[in-house]
Amino acid sequence: MPRHAQQPRATTATDATTSPIGDVVDRSTGLPRLLTRKCETCIFRPGNLMHLTDGTRDDVVRAALANDSWIVCHRTLPGTANPVGSQAICRGFWDVHARDSFGCRLAVAFGGPVLVPPPSEPTEPNSPHA
């Protein structure tokens, strides 16, 4: 069969495991997840809570917009002990740039995104909440 005539491979839940950002797609709706609010250390909050080098946030935003995509919230990344498939779009990015991103506009056009709360903040071992 000629290469151009091959059927595209179906995406499976395991495909996200090859990505360092995981998967923002809600499997029950097919729509991306979006945080209901900014996480406590959102790169779009005032100050530099993530201690990023100058220009890093702007570079990440430019890359996301160049790909008509979004930024995945750093608190939901698989490397933060969140299971693959529980990642979500950064609320700060959405609030500022959703109209600039074709991917975000497409999510809205299809009835999304699916709203999810940010992951709970880690508790300090010696805090009264531990």
At 46-90, the pLDDT tens digits run 988 888 899 999 999 999 999 999 999 999 998 888 888 899 999
pLDDT at 9: 37
Q: Is residue 15 part of a domain?
A: no
pLDDT at 49: 84
pLDDT band of residue 119 (cuts 50, 70, 90) is confident
Give the domain extent around 56.
Answer: 20-116
User: 41 vs 57, 106, 110, CA distance in Å?
Assistant: 13, 27, 30
Q: Is residue 13 part of a domain?
A: no
Q: Is residue 2 part of a domain?
A: no
Q: How far apart are CA 14 and CA 98, in angstroms?
A: 27
Q: Give 66's contacts (C-beta < 8 A, 6+ positions apart).
A: none
Q: Is residue 14 part of a domain?
A: no
Q: Is residue 51 part of a domain?
A: yes
pLDDT band of residue 5 (cuts 50, 70, 90) is very low
Look up tokens 């530099």; give the residue.
48
Mean pLDDT of 104-112: 96
Q: Is residue 30 part of a domain?
A: yes
The string of pLDDT tens digits covering residues 6-54 is 443 334 444 444 566 779 999 999 999 999 999 999 999 998 888 889 9
Q: Is residue 69 part of a domain?
A: yes
Query: How many independent structural domains does the chain possess?
Result: 1
Q: Is residue 12 part of a domain?
A: no
Torsion of CA 80, 86, 92, 96, to 10 degrees: 140
